[in-house]
Structure 1
Amino acid sequence: MPPCNVLFLMTDQHRVDTLGCYGNPVVSTPALDSLAADGTRFDSFYTPTAICTPARASLFTGQHPFRHGLLVNPERNGGARDEVEDSAPVLSAPLLEAGYDLGHVGKWHIGRTRGPEFYGMDGEHLSGALNPFHHPSYEAWLNAKGYPRFAVKDGVFGAAPNGLGRGHLIAGRLQQPVEATMEAYLTGQSLELLDRYADNWHSEGKPFMLSCHWFGPHLPYLIPDEYYDMYDPASVPLPASMAETFAGKPDVQRRYAEYWSADAFDGDAWRKLIAVYWGYVTMIDHQVGRLLDALKERGLWDDTAVVFTADHGEFTGSHRLNDKGPAMYEDIYRIPGLVRIPGCRPQVRDDFATLIDLYATILDVAEVPVPDDCDGRSLLPVLSGEPADGTREEVVTEFHGHHFPYSQRMIRDRRHKLVYNPDSVNELYDLDVDPHELHNVHDAPAYAHVRRDLTTRLYQELLRRGDPAYTWMSYMSDIGSDRAPDVDGVADEVA
């Protein structure tokens, strides 16, 4: 296929089960559902790590987090890299060299001070993890439009576990009309760039890649009444994993539940919070629709690939947790993956894929060579409908901490998931019989063969990648007597 344009759409902390195309019977997401119906819906799409900066840096560099070194968000940095290394194979460089117009609007959150403009992209660096309601550009736009400034009432807070006051803000009623929201502003900025890029495409044949990254539906859910009250809490089922007891699980999960005061809300309160989260999803879907309509109106639909995904998911009460953190459950590791390539037939695929693969896929779509040091692989053959032979049988992810350093590795195949926690108990889940990951069967005798198999496969994959986590496993894990723990490469030379 000839090189084409790319519209890349991304949200933050977005659960798969909030989209109609992924089976939610209540939430209205017509724009994303139409994208799924016209393209490929990946049902086994994963983030390489469920934390914003490392995940976004993996998308931007095509590398695993342990390789690019941005292991945590800058706001919680415990000594890891703050910026992408100068020598890293960033996605922008080969596209600019190939003559692409390149724009980024919205959340960046890859480095502390370097934004999209540092990498030669059109766009302004909106730093930080959350909606920048007080950014000068946004406030100037509000003033020019005559819109009211950011204000919230009826805030919903947790309870601080140390008894020293209220906990985190979870939701609130935004006192602005929908057209004045940060989400609408970012969409408008994207449309302005799209107009310029469309002119260049039609007049000069110059291709473009335009990214619009919304900050939502990340908590706190601060949205106008129209969306805050869109869904009846009575229509919201509570997550089955709210039955979590943390029995046989790493104690950090219980501590995180306390930190987010998830148990401070009763069932009715949680139904309302989830309903508000759903409203936030629908509000963003409306903005997605504006961009998809603009592609068609500007004569770009048949020449533009469209990608929609998220950096990671969110708990919203699942496992008595909120936000994300040191627990490698499907709620935060499995993410939406919708890709439409002009000329490719609609389909649903269950192939394992990750954000890292999108780096190689975009370059492939642009007919630009993929660097040898890319850790992902292009999904274009899958998107073109090729058979699933030779696709991954598993996905391996990593985590390095958020509020504090905490190392984890996970391997997940079609039925089982093993989570390796070096400083706590390990976890093993049989997803066929326990889809909500409530029962840790790591030490159950009936699963000994599964535990040994997954542990060995995880070790071998970490060793192949060069992930230093394999060194601990060499001596501390059940990987089989045929594997000598020669982590330094000199054991055989010592008498």
Structure 2
Amino acid sequence: MKNILILICDQLSAKALKAYGNTDSETRAIDALADRGIVFERAYTPCPLCQPARASFWSSSYPHQNGVISNLPKQKQADFPDSITTLGEVFQKGGYECIHFGKEHDYGALRGFTKVVNEQKKTEPENPALPYDYETYFDIDTTEKAVRYLQQTAPNIDKPLLMAVDLQNPHNICAYIGAHAESGANHVPPEELPPLPDNFRDSDTHSRASFLQYLCCGHRRQSQTADWSEQDFQHYLHAYYYYLQKVDRQIGGVLSALKQSGKAEDTLIVFMADHGEGMAAHQIVTKSGTFYEETVRVPFVLQVPGRQPQRYDCLFSLIDLLPTLADYAGLPIPASAAGVSHWPTLLAELKSGQTDRKAAEFDNGQSPEKQGQPAVGCDRKPEGAEGSWPDYPTESYVVSQWHDEFEGYFVPARMYLTESYKYLAYQDKNGLEEELYDMSTDRLEQKNLAALPEYRLLLDHYRQDLQSYCVVSGDPFFQLKADYSDKYRQHPVGRHSGPNAVLEYQQRVNQAKQAAQAQV
């Protein structure tokens, strides 16, 4: 039987792991998994925010398609669209036992899974300077229940198993930032602190999008770092690795239980994260509407029974999860899937080439089922496309979206990434603001080519490619308009003061709760 175990971390950047070149973190379980598996070099989230990312990868749909565009508990539509088939529904219909442990935050996209109730199990922190919050408490419960299920229930299941273990750390770093908002962290000797990243500072901040220059106005945790020193950022990185080490040990426990279940030899293991983490690159912490590598590039590893370890260099979006797993299991890929299957390419053990997102998106909806597309060259149009769609993108790509974290600071943005360049576009009050990076020579994203006149034609090319993607996918990006109060952005760049949109949203929520309680 083709069993599948999906292990998910929250807010984990690929750059935090040894498998992707990190030398400061300690993640023995994840490292061992990567050493035995297929490491996807370039996997990206469809949105650098929890709920939209999760709704998207569980359903192979973009945020603008499924309507889940923020972390608000109530979106414009009351429920996740019935017209979009989810991963759980595909596998449930295919005869799988589908069970989910841990964090949900999916807005209904986990349809088809039996969802095990997650509870907080509180415990005292090992170090008061490294506080625990709900993420760590929930992860204790998630791990215990998942391990117990693998030890006691899974051995007796006589049909294929799809099991998701959805852990929340290293997301606990958010509470750490809040606890140290006033600066002055000193819980680690200076000689034990990890170094700052090479792209900690940008020399061309003035050329970046206004949203990024004033990220602190719409991002609570970023505003809390306004007075941090370089050493404070180093302490934050140390804390991030601490929470990461905790969740790594829990992953190790789940993998040990899988072996005890007797199902390890016929189980495909997926390891992934919903989105990344700023990791002090560009002096950014946690996640928000930033599309730099630290925030959008996520770890993705497949350990396939009987397959040798390898590195997979093709562009991969998390919306490709559903088609790829369905293809592996021999199940039909639903017509609603916006992603494409990478399984044919992996099966052929090709070291180059790209599953053709362009051809698959044009086919989407024209047949009841989409099978895995054949691999084609990374820099070519689909066969026969020359002249058919003259404005169609000329390279394979992945897209990531941003709208708003909650409400009150709506600045729609898109990342359009190809094998060669990363194009960023923000719809702000002054019009379209753009960034462009050469991903072959500037992976640290230190030089915004959009600000240079000699790159104007190339910038026009990528803007047109994004426009073509919008037409194909029905993305209304170029018709959207920024919406936020002029009371924000009234301070010098890099020195936050004044209101913050997320804090104001939380105040409104708290006031509504107090009013409701007063009426009881």
Equivalent residue number for residue 486 of structure 1: none
Are 2:211 and 2:411, in contact at CA under 8 Å, matched by a contact in 1? no
In structure 2, C-alpha distance between the alignment counterparts of 1:434 and 1:122, rounded to whole Å: 43
Are 1:108 and 1:115, in contact at CA under 8 Å, matched by a contact in 2? no
Alpha carbons of 1:175 and 1:152: their partners in 2 closer, same or farther (altered >3 Å)?
A: farther
In structure 2, C-alpha distance between the alignment counterparts of 1:153 and 1:255, rounded to whole Å: 33
Structure 2 residue 39 is matched with structure 1 residue 80: no
Q: Which amino acid in structure 2 is aligned with residue 283 of structure 1?
A: K
Matches within 5 A, 1:329-408: 329-387=292-350, 388-391=352-355, 393-403=396-406, 404-408=409-413
Q: What whole-Å deviation, never above 9, does each CA across 1:78-107 have from its counterpart, x for those lacking one? A: x53453123320221222222211111111
TM-score, structure 2 as length reference: 0.75
Are 2:265 and 2:305, in contact at CA under 8 Å, matched by a contact in 1? yes
Structure 2 residue 423 is matched with structure 1 residue 460: no
Q: What whole-Å deviation, never above 9, does each CA across 1:375-397 have from its counterpart, x for those lacking one? A: 11122223324323343532222
Match of 2:20 among 22, 28, 52: 22
Structure 2 residue 110 is matched with structure 1 residue 105: no
Q: Which amino acid in structure 1 is aligned with residue 336 of structure 2?
A: D
Are 1:71 and 1:80, in contact at CA under 8 Å, matched by a contact in 2? no
Matches within 5 A, 1:118-267: 119-124=112-117, 126=118, 137-139=119-121, 149=123, 154=128, 172-174=130-132, 181-201=137-157, 204=158, 206-220=159-173, 234-244=192-202, 246-257=205-216, 259=220, 260-261=222-223, 262-267=225-230
State which drifts further: 381-390 or 319-328: 381-390
In structure 1, C-alpha distance between the alignment counterparts of 2:189 and 2:335, rounded to whole Å: 48
In structure 2, C-alpha distance between the alignment counterparts of 1:30 and 1:232, rounded to whole Å: 25
Are 2:100 and 2:163, in contact at CA under 8 Å, matched by a contact in 1? yes
State which drifts further: 409-418 or 208-217: 409-418
Alpha carbons of 1:83 and 1:438: their partners in 2 closer, same or farther (altered >3 Å)?
A: farther
Task: Indicate the percent of aligned positions where both proteins have the same amino acid.
Answer: 27
In structure 2, C-alpha distance between the alignment counterparts of 1:199 and 1:468, rounded to whole Å: 48
In structure 2, C-alpha distance between the alignment counterparts of 1:255 and 1:69, rounded to whole Å: 26
Alpha carbons of 1:297 and 1:229: their partners in 2 closer, same or farther (altered >3 Å)?
A: farther
State which drifts further: 5-14 or 441-450: 441-450
Q: What whole-Å deviation, never above 9, does each CA across 1:359-415 have from its counterpart, x for those lacking one? A: 112222222111122111122223324323343532222211214322111211223
Matches within 5 A, 1:279-290: 279-290=242-253
Equivalent residue number for residue 132 of structure 1: none
Structure 2 residue 85 is matched with structure 1 residue 89: yes
Are 2:120 and 2:140, in contact at CA under 8 Å, matched by a contact in 1? no
Match of 2:50 among 42, 49, 52: 52
Q: Which amino acid in structure 1 is aligned with residue 114 of structure 2?
A: M
Quote the offset at 1:115 in angstroms.
Answer: 8.6
Is the partner of 1:183 in helix, strand or coil? helix
| Structure 1: 5+ residue stretches without partners | 127-136, 140-147, 156-171, 474-495
In structure 2, C-alpha distance between the alignment counterparts of 1:246 and 1:32, rounded to whole Å: 35
Are 2:97 and 2:160, in contact at CA under 8 Å, matched by a contact in 1? yes
Alpha carbons of 1:281 and 1:382: their partners in 2 closer, same or farther (altered >3 Å)?
A: farther
In structure 1, C-alpha distance between the alignment counterparts of 2:296 and 2:283, rounded to whole Å: 17
Alpha carbons of 1:56 and 1:450: their partners in 2 closer, same or farther (altered >3 Å)?
A: same
Q: Which amino acid in structure 1 is aligned with residue 59 of structure 2?
A: T
Q: What whole-Å deviation, never above 9, does each CA across 1:179-210 have from its counterpart, x for those lacking one? A: x9542321111112223542234xx3x11111
State which drifts further: 102-111 or 385-394: 385-394
Alpha carbons of 1:346 and 1:441: their partners in 2 closer, same or farther (altered >3 Å)?
A: same
Quote the offset at 1:242 in angstroms.
Answer: 2.4
Alpha carbons of 1:150 and 1:115: their partners in 2 closer, same or farther (altered >3 Å)?
A: farther
Q: Which amino acid in structure 1 is aligned with residue 41 of structure 2?
A: D
Structure 2 residue 291 is matched with structure 1 residue 328: yes
Q: Which amino acid in structure 2 is aligned with residue 389 of structure 1?
A: G
Match of 1:426 among 434, 446, 465: 434
In structure 1, C-alpha distance between the alignment counterparts of 2:250 and 2:346, rounded to whole Å: 25
In structure 2, C-alpha distance between the alignment counterparts of 1:62 and 1:30, rounded to whole Å: 31
Is the partner of 2:416 in helix, strand or coil? strand
State which drifts further: 411-420 or 244-253: 244-253
Alpha carbons of 1:427 and 1:378: their partners in 2 closer, same or farther (altered >3 Å)?
A: same
Quote the offset at 1:348 in angstroms.
Answer: 0.2
In structure 1, C-alpha distance between the alignment counterparts of 2:21 and 2:439, rounded to whole Å: 18
Alpha carbons of 1:229 and 1:15: their partners in 2 closer, same or farther (altered >3 Å)?
A: farther
In structure 2, C-alpha distance between the alignment counterparts of 1:313 and 1:8, rounded to whole Å: 17
Is the partner of 1:105 in helix, strand or coil? strand
Quote the offset at 1:36 in angstroms.
Answer: 1.1
Quote the offset at 1:231 in angstroms.
Answer: 9.6
Q: Which amino acid in structure 1 is aligned with residue 156 of structure 2?
A: N
Matches within 5 A, 1:275-314: 275-314=238-277
Alpha carbons of 1:303 and 1:353: their partners in 2 closer, same or farther (altered >3 Å)?
A: same
In structure 1, C-alpha distance between the alignment counterparts of 2:289 and 2:123, rounded to whole Å: 36
- The count of corresponding residues between Structure 1 and Structure 2 is 422
Quote the offset at 1:149 in angstroms.
Answer: 4.5
Quote the offset at 1:229 in angstroms.
Answer: 7.2
In structure 1, C-alpha distance between the alignment counterparts of 2:109 and 2:293, rounded to whole Å: 30
Q: Which amino acid in structure 2 is aligned with residue 254 of structure 1?
A: Q
Are 1:105 and 1:213, in contact at CA under 8 Å, matched by a contact in 2? yes
Quote the offset at 1:314 in angstroms.
Answer: 1.0
Alpha carbons of 1:59 and 1:88: their partners in 2 closer, same or farther (altered >3 Å)?
A: same
Alpha carbons of 1:33 and 1:154: their partners in 2 closer, same or farther (altered >3 Å)?
A: closer
Cα RMSD of the aligned pairs, angstroms, is 2.8
TM-score, structure 1 as length reference: 0.78
Is the partner of 1:327 in helix, strand or coil? coil
In structure 2, C-alpha distance between the alignment counterparts of 1:151 and 1:276, rounded to whole Å: 13
